[in-house]
Structure 1
Amino acid sequence: MLLTGFEGYGGRGLNPAAEVVRALDGQTVAGVRVAGAVLPVSYAGLADRLAGEIRKHRPKGVICLGLWPGEPAIRLERFGMNLNDFEIPDNAGAMEHGPIEPDGPATRVATLPVEAIQNRLLAADIPARASSTAGNFLCNATLYTALGIVEREAPGTPCGFIHVPYLPAQVAEMIAQIRDEQTLELHQRADLASMALETTVAAIRIAIETTLEGRAA
C-alpha cells in the first residue's frame, strides 16, 4: 500500500499528513506492508514523483494525504478536478492556474471505498465525512494526477485522497500567536479544529484496512 503525504507549507513547519505517513511507513496493515513517501510541496515534478513511487512499489492501493486547515473530521475526497487555481504559492514559489492536463477529462473519480471507510470510521467514533472537492491546490492536483497514473499503469488499483485536520499543537500555537499579536479575535477564526495524531493515524489505518478488504472481496 502506497501512502503519501506532504511536508509543511504556507509558513507551517509541520504537516500532520507527513506525520501520519512517517508513523505508518513500514507497518503491516491487513497483511500488506505500507510504503510511505513524504512529498515536497512543489507542483513541478509532481507527476513524475507520483509515477516513480507507484512504479517502485507496485502497490495494492494508493492513498494520498494532505492537510485541510480548519477541517474537524477525516475528509474523504470523491473527485479530482482538472484545474489548478492556487491561492498561495507552493514551496518553490509557483502559482499555478489552468488545467492540470490540457487534454485530460474534467474530473476523475476516486476509487477508494469512500462510503465503507466512512462507515468504519464513524463506528470507531472517529469523525469522518465524504467531500466533493479536494480544493484547488496540490492536494487536488495529486488526486487528479495519481488517478490518471493508476488508470494507465495499474488499472483496478484503488486510489484516492484523504484530508486530515490540524494537530492540537498547531492550533495551540495559532491561538497563542493570535493572543500575543492581538491581530484577530479568536471567534473570527474558522481554522481552529484539530485531531490528535494517534486518532488520525488510527483513522488512516482503518482506511487502509477497508481499502484492502474491498479489493480482496
Structure 2
Amino acid sequence: MKLLITGFDPFGSESINPAYEAVKLLPDSIRDLDIIKLEVPTVFGQAGETLKQAMDIHQPDYVLCIGQAGGRSAVTPEKIAINLMDGRIPDNAGYQPFDTPVREDGPAAYFSSLPVKAMVQAIREAGIPSFLSYTAGTYVCNYLMYELLYLIDHHYPNTKGGFIHVPFMTSQVVNKPNGTPSMDLKTIASALENAIEAIAENETDIQANMGETH
C-alpha cells in the first residue's frame, strides 16, 4: 500500500517551511506503507494541480498533506476543510483571493477521511503535543485539503485523505517576538511518523471526545 505525503515550499516572509522539511526526514516505508514524498507550491490552483498529477501517477491508498501553522504550539490534524479561499496575504504567485469558493460545484465543507483522533492520540502517546483542529484556515492549506477531498469524492473513491498543520520549527522563531511557539524539526517529523502509523493501524477512527468548548 502507498501513502503520498506532501509539504509546501516556503511562503510569506519565511525562507524555510517546516512542512516539507519534516516530510523529507521521514523513512521511505512506515508499517506496511510505501511513503511517497512531494513538495507542492504555496499557490492556489497550482498546488492542487501538482497533487492531482502525483495521485494520477502513484494511485496512492492514502494522501496526507502537511502545512505550516505559525503560532500553533502543537501538531494538529485537521478535521474539516471549507469551500472558501480568502488570503490574508498573496500566495507565492501573487494571487490573493477574497471570499472565493475552492470549487463552484463543491459542498460547503468536507471532513477528513483519515482516523484523525487516532492520529492525535498516537502523537500524544509519543510525548509530543497534539490536538484535533476544526479550522484549517482560508489560505492555501485549507484550499489543498478541500481540493484533495474533492478529488477523492469525484475521482479517487478508494483513497483516503487529510491534512496536518505543524508549528514553526525552532530556527524560524529566533527573531520573532518572545513566546512565539515552535517545535524542533525532528520532533515534528516524529509526530508525522506517529500519525502515519495510526493511519496504517486504524481502518476506522477511535471513539474519543476531542471537541472544543468555544
TM-score by length of 2: 0.90
Aligned mates of 1:195, 1:57 — CA distance in 2:
31
Please state how far the C-alpha of 1:44 moved relative to its aligned partner.
3.3
The aligned runs of 1:37-186 (5 Å cut-off) are: 37-97=38-98, 98-175=100-177, 186=178
Whether the 8 Å CA contact 2:61–2:158 is kept in 1: the answer is no
1:215 corresponds to which residue? 203
Aligned mates of 1:156, 1:131 — CA distance in 2:
25
Please state how far the C-alpha of 1:19 moved relative to its aligned partner.
0.1
Please state how far the C-alpha of 1:216 moved relative to its aligned partner.
9.2
- Secondary structure of 1:36 counterpart: strand
Q: Deviations over 1:36-69 (max 9, x none)?
A: 1111111132322111111111112110000001
Aligned mates of 2:68, 2:204 — CA distance in 1:
29
Counterpart AA for 1:92 = A
Flag structure 1 segments of 5+ consecutive residues without an equivalent.
176-185
Whether the 8 Å CA contact 1:61–1:212 is kept in 2: the answer is no
Aligned mates of 2:37, 2:53 — CA distance in 1:
13
Higher helix share: 1
Question: Measured at CA, do residues 9 and 142 of structure 1 come closer, stay the same or move farther in structure 2, by a change above 3 Å?
Answer: same
Counterpart AA for 2:57 = K
Aligned mates of 2:125, 2:33 — CA distance in 1:
23
2:7 corresponds to which residue? 5
Aligned mates of 2:116, 2:47 — CA distance in 1:
24
* Cα RMSD for the two superposed structures: 1.6
Q: Deviations over 1:7-36 (max 9, x none)?
A: 100010100001012112x61101221111
Question: Measured at CA, do residues 34 and 216 of structure 1 come closer, stay the same or move farther in structure 2, by a change above 3 Å?
Answer: farther
Q: Deviations over 1:140-190 (max 9, x none)?
A: 000000011122222142210000001111111325xxxxxxxxxx4xx7x
Of the two, which has the highest radius of gyration? 1
Whether the 8 Å CA contact 1:158–1:211 is kept in 2: the answer is no
Question: Measured at CA, do residues 35 and 77 of structure 1 come closer, stay the same or move farther in structure 2, by a change above 3 Å?
Answer: same
Aligned mates of 2:160, 2:45 — CA distance in 1:
25
Flag structure 2 segments of 5+ consecutive residues without an equivalent.
206-214
Whether the 8 Å CA contact 2:4–2:60 is kept in 1: the answer is yes
1:179 corresponds to which residue? none
- Secondary structure of 2:203 counterpart: helix
TM-score by length of 1: 0.88
Q: Alignment identity in percent?
A: 34
Counterpart AA for 2:121 = N
- Secondary structure of 2:132 counterpart: strand
Counterpart AA for 2:157 = P
Aligned mates of 1:47, 1:164 — CA distance in 2:
20
Whether the 8 Å CA contact 1:86–1:96 is kept in 2: the answer is yes
Counterpart AA for 1:123 = E
- Confirm whether residue 194 of structure 1 aligns to residue 182 of structure 2: yes
**Moved >3 Å (runs of 4+):** none
